[in-house]
Amino acid sequence: MARIKIGDVVEIITSRGLAYTQYTHSHPDYLSLMRVFATFYSTRPENFAEVVKQPLAFNCFLPLSVCVHRKIFAVVANVPISAELRDFPLFRTGFPDSVTRKIHNWTIWDGQSSTRVGALTADQRKLSLRGIWNDTLLIERLESGWRPETDTL
């Protein structure tokens, strides 16, 4: 079995077409950081250097090696990480209120430490949610057009 490598471009088959992500960072607790691109394709592109220049939909953590080993997703290329994606992104996280099920006190996480911010600004709402996703959740969110800023938490 081939090992996954930073820069791997991963193809995901969805009901909306082919979606692509790029593996940009490894985190000891959260596994593989995937940059998920917003563009869908009807056929596999020839130039993956162009695919990884597309706008991001969101970031997520995924057990990528398991997904690839089980042939749920396929590594289709390896492309150097662009300057825009080299830095570890910020994530937001919080605990839902037991009554309202809404998060009122948010924390921003940089991959190592967290800072409490309370309510989110409009820009902070665009930050991806911290957590490890499985393949089913990733596909579901891709197909539904989900974005962090429209999440109902």
Q: Is 30 in contact with 58 (CB distance < 8 Å)?
A: no
Confidence class of residue 2 from pLDDT cuts 50, 70 and 90? low
In this prediction the pTM is 0.94
H or E stretch covering 143: helix 135-144
Q: Please check the confidence at residue 40 and state whether its pLDDT lies above 90.
A: yes
Q: Please check the confidence at residue 153 and state whether its pLDDT lies above 80.
A: no
Determine how many CB atoms are found less than 10 A away from the CB of residue 48: 17
Long-range contact set of residues 107-113: C-beta below 8 Å, sequence gap at least 24: 111/25, 111/27
Q: What is the pLDDT of residue 123?
A: 96
Q: What is the pLDDT of residue 1?
A: 54
Q: What is the pLDDT of residue 146?
A: 97
